[in-house]
Structure formats: C-alpha cells, structure tokens
Amino acid sequence: MPHGHPMATPVALSEQLAAVARAVAAVRQGRSLADVLPAVPARLRPGVQALVFLTLRHGGETLALAGLLARRPPAPAVSGLLEAALALLIDGTGYAPHTVVDQAVRALPALRAPALAGFVNACLRRFLRERDALLAQVRATPLGRWNHPDWWVQRLQHDHPDHWAAALEAANQPAPMVLRVNRRQGSRAAYQEQLARLGWLADPIGDDGLVLAQAVPVERLPGWADGAVSVQDGAAQMAAPLLLGQGLPPGARVLDACAAPGGKSAHLLERADLELWALDADATRTQRIHDTMRRLRLSVDGSVRVLTADAGTPQRWWDGRPFDAILLDAPCSASGIVRRHPDVRWLRRAEDVPRLAAEQRRLLAALWPLLAPGGRLLYATCSVFRAEGADVVADFLACHPDARVLPAPGHLLPGGIAADATGQGERFVSAHAMGDNARRGMDGFFYALLGKA
C-alpha cells in the first residue's frame, strides 16, 4: 500500500492502478474527486486516493510526458494509467521501476484495453531509458516545472511577485492533518497528552489546534465520536477568533452565511454562547451542518438555526433583526487548498475567477445591510488570488463609507506565508503558528475584517 495505509489484506498494485487511471481520467474530463472517490470500493479507497493525489501533484509533468511518449493520445483511462505509472516512476514511492511497469501492464484488462500492453510497456520503458532528458524537456516549461496550469502560475506571479514560487512549491506538498480541540469538552493541552500516550506527536497551532506529525484515521482519535475534536486546517481555524475578537455578549446574533459543512460555525459555538444562524444554498450540504453540530453536541439547546437559503437574497429568509457579527466564507476558486484537493488546479479555468469574484461581491453587498451598527463582518475565501480577496474588499470599501478595515491577516499563502505587506499578516501568523510543523498546517486563505460605523 502506498503512503502507509494499513489494510487487512494486501491489494495488487495493478488493481489500484486501474482505479487510479479511471479517477485521473475523470478529473481530466472535468469531474471532481469528491464525486469520483466515493465510488471506489472501500478496501481500495485509501491506497487509490494516495496514488491519485500523487499523480495529480505531478500532473503537469505526467501530462507533458504522456504527450511526448505517445504519438497519438490513447483512450482517457489508458492516458490516466500512463500518468499514474509515470508519477510513481518520477516520485520513486516504494516500488521498483520494473514492478511499476509490470503492474501497469497488468492493469489494462480491467480497463478493457489488453491489446495496448505493448504500447504501455514501450512508453514506460522509454521513459526509464531516457528519464533525465525527458524530465529536463518537460521541466523547461512552466506546466512541467510547477505542476499547475500556465494561467494559474501567471496569475500568482502577478498577484504575489515575492512569494509565487514558494506558494507553488508549498501547494505541491501533502498537507498535514490538523485537529481542532472542542474547548467545551476539554483543554488542548489535555488532548495533546492523550495523543502522546498513544504515541502520536502533535504541535499546537492557533488557539485550539494541533498539527499531527502523522495522519491517523479519524475514528481512532480519542473522543472523535463524542465530539471532542474535529479536523480543520490551521488557516480555517483563524475565522472564529477573528470574528469574535475580544468577545461578543452572551446570546449575540451571529450569521454564518455560507456555512456548510459547518466547521467554522461549530468553532464559533465552541468558543462563545451565541444565537447562530447557519446558511447554505445546497440542501445536501445543509444536512452536513446538522451532522457536524450533532456529533459535536452543539445544537442540543436550540442555539443553532440551520437554513437552506441563498445568502444573497436575504428578503427570503431574514427576520429583520440585525446581526452583531457576520461570517461570509464566500464560494471561491479554492486555489488556496490544493494541498488537500490536488484536483482543483486541473478543474478550474481562468474564466472561473472573475465569475466567482462577481458572486463574492454580490454576497458582500447583500449581507452588509443585515449587520448592526458597531458590528463586524469577516470576509473570507480559501483563495490565493487577489481578485477574490483584496480586490473585492477594495471595491466594497469604495462604495461603503460606513465600513472600516480592522486588523486581519489579508492574503495567506499555503504553508503559512503572509503575502500582504502591511505586516498584520506576518504578526498574525507568527502569533498563531509555533514551529515549522505548525506553519505547514495552514492552507492558502484570505481574511478581511470590516467594522460598521
């Protein structure tokens, strides 16, 4: 099994590669791994996910190499198989090269392409013979060098001229597993001791987080089923303390406008006694908010109102009473979380960014009138692009003289790089991320805190 996933019975690499090939082909054809991976049989899924992630992290190199090795592109699943085998050969992850070639060929009958055994064998053996020259050729291009689409690299270069290369390197590293301890059930220090007794090392991050040195299945975490802990990236854990600031009065009305799956809503309730409204436009995702609250035992007193509604049309759901604080974690390109979702970079298109920015502007304008005077709104996206962060906020401020900017980190890049020159971001990160492992526990994010006069 790749990446150390324990299994009761070993699974042939060829069987995994066939499933990986189909998943990679689906992503290349525009489908999300969130839709594809649940269809993989449970006994294969951990290993297949690890191999798919590896392949997509090398997706620029493998795509370019497959183009050099095959005169005509084969069927999508066979292309996916070539990409997966090439990623394993590039990465050298625990398999001898001859084993990878052999198992790739053995995967072909499952893909209904046994006649292409000679073709796949020839492509992979040529790569092994000419490895250095072929890799040098593909890595001379931005796609092969950075394993992100060209438009993505160019936008990052424009947006973050001092940090773009470090951000791309960080985005290609596997993200650590980060926990958020439910302070209503116990202290972080006590939970860290529990983990240590099990032999699991963890570093603190932020106010409530722990970065695990090694990922573990969530069901093995102490108190998981009883809501003692959640999985949430360190950057996402900044939202609740930023919005709550020095505290809100008990029973304050708070809106989480795009709340699913409910992690940030839950963190707010773990830290304060609030009247919380949690919205999402998708009914299936709204159900996940209910599930989150139920596991964390946060909805038993009726303090949470979960609604399926479009935050941008408050006339359909708002009761007319102003909110003391609003969290708008707006739909975005998800360009900051590619460490955890390596398919995102291959699914997004350049034209998605202005379309999503327009939606962010719509939501921000619609929600501002719902905020009480003296209240605060936290605008957040898990994007590294300024078009979905600083630019949206600058346009909003130009049209809303009653809004003022409060201290917040601005643009954070994967790996805990504070990209804004104000210094606020750097101070925030250094105060909330202790040690190299903790800094790694942060995705790319944007945060702006707006106070209403």
Which positions are catalytic? 382
d(C-alpha 391, C-alpha 122), whole Å = 50
Q: Is 336 exposed, middle or buried (0-12, 13-18, 19+ CB in 10 A)?
A: buried
Return all residues near 330 (Cβ < 8 A) that are at least 6 apart. Answer: 258, 359, 360, 363, 364, 379, 380, 381, 388
Reading the block at residue 416, the tokens are 């805990």
Phi, psi of 336 (to 5 degrees): -90, -10
Secondary structure class of 215 (helix, strand, coil): coil
Sequential DSSP letters for 108-176: GGGGT-GGGHHHHHHHHHHHHHSHHHHHHHHTTSHHHHHSS-HHHHHHHHHH-TTTHHHHHHHHTSPPP
Burial class of 62 by CB neighbour count within 10 A (0 to 12, 13 to 18, 19+): buried
DSSP assignment, residue 433?
Answer: B
Selection from 138, 7, 4, 141 nearest residue 83 by Cα: 138
Total length of the chain: 453
| Whole-number Å distance between alpha carbons of 246 and 250 | 13
Complete DSSP assignment for 298-327:
-STTS-EEEEE--TT-GGGT--SPPEEEEE
